[in-house]
Each structure stands twice: as C-alpha cells, then as structure tokens.
Amino acid sequence: MSEIELGITADMHVHLRDGKMMELIAPTVREGGISVAYIMPNLVPPITTIDRVVEYKQQLENLSPKTTFLMSFYLSPELTPELINEAASKGAIQGVKCYPAGVTTNSAHGVDPNDFTKFYPVFEAMEKNNLVLNLHGEKPAKKDDEEINILNAEPLFLPILEKLHSDFPNLKIILEHCTSKQAVEMIEKLNSGYKPGDKVNVAGTITAHHLSLTIDNWAGNPINYCKPVAKFPQDKKYLIEAVTSGKPYFFFGSDSAPHPIEGKARHTGVCAGIYTQKYAISYLAEVFEKKDKLDQLKKFVSDFGLEFYDVDTSKLKNSDKCWLVKRKFNVPEIIGNKEITVVPFKAGDELDWQIEWR
Ligand code: NCD
Ligand code: ZN
C-alpha cells in the first residue's frame, strides 16, 4: 500500500497562538494535511468573550482560508451560563477548555479542579448546548506537598474526571492528551457499556508525540518537553494500542504547541509544548505502519473526532481530501523566519509518509 485516503482530517487540539507566531504557524495546519482544527484558547489574556473568539477565528481564517477552525473558551469565573448560551447559539464556540491552575503553559488563570462545583451551572449550560468540555487532566501540586509531581499528576486527576462524568453523564467530556496507562484504562472504563452505533460522551485525545516519546527523551532534551510529560515505555504501549484500536473514544488531538527556540533554552525554566503540526500525520503514519494498522489511521485522524464534535462536513471551508503517500522526506531542522524560529518535533529525521490534498 503506497497511498491511503484519510478523507476529512481533524486535529482536535491545536495551539496557534497570536501575533507573529500565529502568522507563522496557522497556515501549517493546512500544510500538515488537517481540514478541521479545534483551537486552544490559552492566549495571554485567555479567550473568554464572544467578541474575542470571533475576532481570533477571523484572524485564523484570513491566514488559512481553507481550514475549518472550531473554537473554544478558557474555563474561568468570567464564564456564565448566559454567555455559554449566547456563544453556542451564535456558533462562536464548540467547547470550553479547562486548565488546572499552574500545570502548563499559560495556565495561570486556570481553575482548581479539586472543587468544580462552582462551575456546575456553566457545565449544565454546556450540556444543554452540546458543547465539549476539554480537560487538561493533571492535578495541580499544592505548595509544600511533594506527593503530586509531573509523573503522577495525570493518574491523580482521573477520579475528578470520573466524578464529572457521573455528575454530567450527557456532557461531552474529553480527557486531552492522555499519556498514561491509567488514563487509557479510565477512558475504557467510562465507555465499558459502549456498543457500535452508540453516541460517545467521554473520550480521550492522544497526540502524535506521546506515541514515540518516553521520559528519557525529554529529561535530556527540552524540545521534547511538554505537559503532561511523556511517561514510561509501558504507558506508550497502551497509547499505541488505544490509537490503533479502532475504538471511537480515542481520537487525534496533536497538542501541537509551538514555542520560539529561546523559550526552549532558558536557564529560568523551559516552556512546555512540542510543535508537531505540520508533520503530525507523518509521525502518526510511522507508528501505525509499524503496528501494521495503517488501515485504522483514518478512523483516528478523521471519523471519530468529527463524530464526537458533531461536525457537519457539508459546511466545511473546503472539501479537499487528505491523502497519505509513501514518499520519504526529512523534517526540517527549523521552521521560521527572521523573527521567529521553532524547532519541529523529530527535526532532521527522515520520515516515510507525506500528505497530499486531492
Ligand atoms: C501547551 C502550550 O504550550 O500552550 N503546552 C504543553 O506542554 N502541552 C499547553 C497545554 O496544552 O498544556
Ligand atoms: Zn494543549
């Protein structure tokens, strides 16, 4: 097999930033073979108003007119049920992203997930409007408490997910960028009654980079540092099983998160985030091919995400189909211009599969 049709592809977790970085990165979603992208709201300041989200979407569309952008709000006390109702009725957002305070890049305005009850009216409004709640699933560490760390923060978050799903069984919830065996098992558990044809309400997205990284790869290399961090080989194995399983509650969210190279080489602390668009589909293809599961790739990068988000594919910005073509290329060492340099994931590596629009 040297060509595979992936159809209308979807990356349901993308950071495109603003300003000069946005200008550089927004077009690479299309260049990377993605039709539909769900955009993260963790700008500075975070996106919490209809005017701002509409303006941001317009800026992105100007830079990449053929990409369909799905937009999100940043969960914060400024969000009210009325605002959610209005944003949903205008089609301004498809979901709300929840960042526990302090766990990752631009999460300073995040929330305390140990007590979500004050957001319950917002979640009720989201449930009613069929919006998605996107969870960054890491439990924040408390001051002077060393029991929570970057390796166990995700497993420790899972009971919070379980409770939310049980309190809002009809709210669509995603555990974003699953990185651990326990996360995969929790998503399986919450879908244990699933039968083909059922609607999925709780899902996990999985990135491309977590299918090839483990702890050793980021401990010595800030380019591979992201949150949640890549865990152990056994966790990676579970993630690869999940993405190739053909189960509709696991689908693609790259968490492509560009940082200027200076942010990756600071003595004051390294920025979390790995830039994987525009080669994310090529990274995935390597993993699926190795497992002899290339026939499952379309479900993971197209069908399941579109289904979960109820994307109406007759209303996209364009109807081109993404094809995967077996043709070697080298990931560039850097992408950028005079002002910004970003080092892509697997910089310099030779990959086997490229994408084409047809
Ligand atoms: C993301 C970023 O840089 O915005 N970083 C990351 O490590 N994944 C934020 C996030 O999604 O956690
Ligand atoms: Zn992210």
Binding pocket residue ranges, ligand 1, CB within 6 Å? 15, 42, 104-106, 136, 226-227, 255, 257, 272-273
DSSP one-letter code for 333? S
Mutate to test the pocket of ligand 1, among 104, 223, 229 (most ligand atoms within 8 A of CB): 104
Model confidence pLDDT, tens digit, residues 13-48? 999 999 999 999 999 999 999 999 999 999 999 999
- CA-CA distance, 187 to 189, in Å (whole number)? 5
Centre of ligand 1 from the C-alpha of residue 327, in Å: 31
Give every CB contact of residue 78 below 8 A, 6+ residues apart in sequence.
48, 49
pLDDT at residue number 291:
98
DSSP state for residue 261 in the 8-state scheme: G
DSSP string, 193-214: T--TTPPP-EEEEE-SGGGT--
Rounded CA-CA distance 290/132 in Å is 33
- Considering the entire predicted model, what is its pTM? 0.98
Give which of 102, 43, 46 is closest to 77, Cα–Cα: 46
Asked whether the beta carbons of 175 and 183 are under 8 A apart, the reply is: yes
**For residue 159, which amino acid is it?**
P
* Residue range(s) defining the domain that contains residue 341: 3-357
pLDDT score for 185: 98
Distance, in Å, from the CA atom of 257 to the CA atom of 226, rounded to the nearest integer, reads 8
- Residue 288 is part of a domain; what is its CATH number? 3.20.20.140
Q: Which atom of ligand 1 is nearest to the CA of 226?
A: 7
What 3 state SS string does 110-142 have? Answer: CECCCCCHHHHHHHHHHHHCCCEEEEECCCCCC
Ligand 1 mean position, distance from CA 236 (Å): 19
| Intervals of the chain under pLDDT 50 | none
The count of domains in the chain is 1
Which token pair is 149?
């760390």
Burial 59-77 (b: 16+ CB within 10 A, else e): bbeebbeebbbbbbbbbbe
Please tell me whether residue 58 adopts helix, strand or coil conformation.
helix
DSSP secondary structure of 73-95 = EEPSTT--HHHHHHHHHTT--SE
Q: Tens digit of pLDDT for each residue in 109-146?
A: 889 988 899 999 999 999 999 999 999 999 998 777 77
In terms of Cβ atoms closer than 10 Å to its own Cβ (0-12, 13-18, 19+), residue 254 is: buried
The Å distance, Cα 1 to ligand 1 centre, comes to 35
Indicate the top mutation candidate among 18, 227, 277, 342 to test ligand 1's pocket, ranked by most ligand atoms within 8 A of CB: 227
Which of 226, 254, 274 to probe ligand 1 with, by most ligand atoms within 8 A of CB? 226
Ligand 1 nearest-atom number relative to CA 106 = 4
| Cβ contacts of 288 within 8 Å, gap of 6 or more | 243, 244, 294, 296, 297, 300
C-alpha–C-alpha distance, residues 313 and 9, integer Å: 11
Longest dimension (CA), the chain: 55
Angstrom distances, CA of residue 300 to CA of 163, 175, 241, 254: 27, 15, 12, 11
What pLDDT was estimated at residue 243?
98
Helices (H), 132-267: 153-167, 181-190, 215-219, 233-243
Q: Nearest Cα to 14, choosing from 62, 56, 77, 52?
A: 56
Q: What atom in ligand 1 is closest to the CA of residue 99?
A: 12
